[in-house]
Amino acid sequence: MTAIIDGKASAERLLAGIAADALAFRQEHGMPPTLAVILIGDDPASQVYVGRKIAACRRVGIGSIEHRLDGDFGEEALLALIDRLNADAKVHGILVQLPLPQGIRANPVLDRITPEKDVDGFHPVNVGRLSIGSDGLMPCTPLGCMILLDSVIQDFRGLSAVVVGKSNIVGKPVALLMLERECTVTVTHIHTRGLPDIVRSADIVVVAAGSPGLVRGDWIKPGAVVIDVGINRISDGADGSRIVGDCVFEEMSHARAVSPVPGGVGPMTIACLLSNTVRAARRQVR
């Protein structure tokens, strides 16, 4: 029987712990752990994501400060805002919602956030810490993948893990996290040759390609654990649409466990962002 890895339930458990931690922090320090969120422009998807993050903060007692800025807010002004938030002792996490409007370069902006407040884990210092296995802030989606894997795998040592996708926000960091657990990790991408056979060799498959239906059932070794990170909106025929992952979910019945889309990695990402905010707050007051 294939276990369906319930990301919603895992996220709820994590959020309950975060709420308790946030309350304890507030009692000890007279202020809540606080996240500043910067959104520039009116991209509808970004508006939705930011709204969800703010709502999740409120739910667990994390303070939130919103900076919703016009699309013509310039890069220099944005850097100056980040400098102010970096210096504000009441702000523990800073998140700049991506993508940024044309004319603002993401790298200088993300690099400006002090690594101690970089709750997305995108700053080069935190990327470096992750790559040497030291204790930095780690990116949220890969952290969520690891928590889901932890719910079904006791011992990672020596397992063969294949990651499909090599992005800086998912593929590479999740590969590093599994390497830290002593997996033998292969990272694949759009130019990888013989991808089905490589995936077929894996005990753990993490797919983050953004390609609906890419991974078929006959790519998966019986008994493997599959984490599907993909979020793709596809047309449903008539006028409707639905969200699917990168794996053909119905063909995964010989896997030991599989995370569904929706309801798998998605709910974990925001929960891990909040977890990072509390962690960042604790480290800053220490």
Annotated binding site for NADP(+): 165-167, 190, 231
Site for ligand NAD in 129-148 (CB under 6 A): 141
- For ligand NAD, give the closer residue by CB, 39 or 271: 271
Indicate if 172 belongs to the active site. no
Stretch binding ligand NAD (CB under 6 A), from 30-38, 81-89, 131-139, 209-217 = 209-217
Main-chain dihedrals φ then ψ at residue 144, nearest 5 degrees: -60, -40
- To ligand NAD, the closest distance from the beta carbon of 83 in angstroms equals 28
Which residues contact residue 33 at a Cβ distance below 8 angstroms, ignoring those fewer than 6 apart?
21, 22, 25, 26, 62, 63, 92, 93, 277, 278, 280, 281, 282
Is 284 within 8 Å of 27 (Cβ atoms)? no
Question: In this structure, which amino acid lies at residue 93?
Answer: G
Question: Using CA atoms, how far apart are residues 183 and 174, in angstroms rounded to an integer?
Answer: 11
- For ligand NAD, give the closer residue by CB, 215 or 224: 215
Is 258 within 8 Å of 252 (Cβ atoms)? yes
Active-site choice (21, 118, 120, 246)? 120
Active-site choice (21, 53, 118, 246)? 53
Among 226, 224, 218, residue whose Cα is nearest residue 164: 226
Number of residues binding to ligand NAD, judged by CB under 6 A: 25
209 binds ligand NAD (CB under 6 A): yes
Site for ligand NAD in 54-113 (CB under 6 A): none
Question: Using CA atoms, how far apart are residues 136 and 119, in angstroms rounded to an integer?
Answer: 10
Question: In this structure, which amino acid lies at residue 267?
Answer: P
Provide the 3-class DSSP secondary structure of residue 65.
strand
Site for ligand NAD in 170-189 (CB under 6 A): 170-171, 188-189
Main-chain dihedrals φ then ψ at residue 219, nearest 5 degrees: -90, -15
- For ligand NAD, give the closer residue by CB, 81 or 227: 227
Binding-site member from 46, 167, 186, 284 for ligand NAD (CB under 6 A): 167
- For the four alpha carbons of 56, 59, 60 and 63, in that order, the dihedral sign comes to positive
- For ligand NAD, give the closer residue by CB, 203 or 228: 228
Question: Using CA atoms, how far apart are residues 174 and 179, in angstroms rounded to an integer?
Answer: 9
- For ligand NAD, give the closer residue by CB, 188 or 277: 188
Binding-site member from 104, 169, 175, 204 for ligand NAD (CB under 6 A): 169
- To ligand NAD, the closest distance from the beta carbon of 180 in angstroms equals 19
Is 71 within 8 Å of 101 (Cβ atoms)? yes
Q: Which residues pair with 241 in a beta bridge?
A: 235
Question: Which residues participate in catalysis according to the annotation?
Answer: 53, 97, 120
Q: Write out the residues near ligand NAD by the rule CB under 6 A.
A: 141, 164-167, 169-171, 188-190, 192, 195, 208-211, 214, 229-232, 265-266, 269
